[in-house]
Structure 1
């Protein structure tokens, strides 16, 4: 698993991975984009924070808690 910063925000490709990126980004939570957004809608995954009109991110603390809960 990739090292997470102590604080800050993660964008969706940093969470679910992106095999097409150069270099590829490994997934912290290996689900598809549509599965992730369905989980956000149902409350299974944390709610995002809007950092700008076209920038959505998640708190590192929320993702850490999700990983610990799923482990």
Structure 2
């Protein structure tokens, strides 16, 4: 062990990781989702139903890791609620 490591050892012992373990991170819930129908991106991300950003949502859609949305018009895109609930259920998200 180097001299620097010896000096920093007591300091490092008291430092906790800035990120809590996964088990301590609160899982999102999806009680805000309607029972059926369609939901827009703003509701999924804005109400924190999904635990990731808008950019990550679209990356996952493109990779086939999240259900694809339905395009109703050039300006309107929404996800089928039932598919979003199935996706959340498969990952153990609480209702």
TM class, shorter-length: 0.7 to 0.9
TM, length-normalised to structure 2: 0.62
Q: Which runs of 5+ in 1 are unaligned?
A: 18-25
5 Å matches for 1:16-27? 16-17=45-46, 26-27=47-48
Secondary structure (helix, strand or coil) at the match of 1:14 reads helix
Measured after TM superposition, the shift of residue 48 of structure 1 is 0.6
> What is the number of equivalent residue pairs in this alignment?
63
TM, length-normalised to structure 1: 0.80
Could you say what the CA RMSD is over the residues aligned between the two structures, in angstroms? 1.1
Secondary structure (helix, strand or coil) at the match of 2:49 reads coil
Which protein shows a greater Rg?
Answer: 2
- Runs of 4+ in structure 1 over 6 Å off: none
1:45 alignment counterpart: 66
Task: Give distance in 2, aligned partners of 1:4 and 1:58.
Answer: 11
Structure having the higher helix fraction is 2
Measured after TM superposition, the shift of residue 38 of structure 1 is 0.3
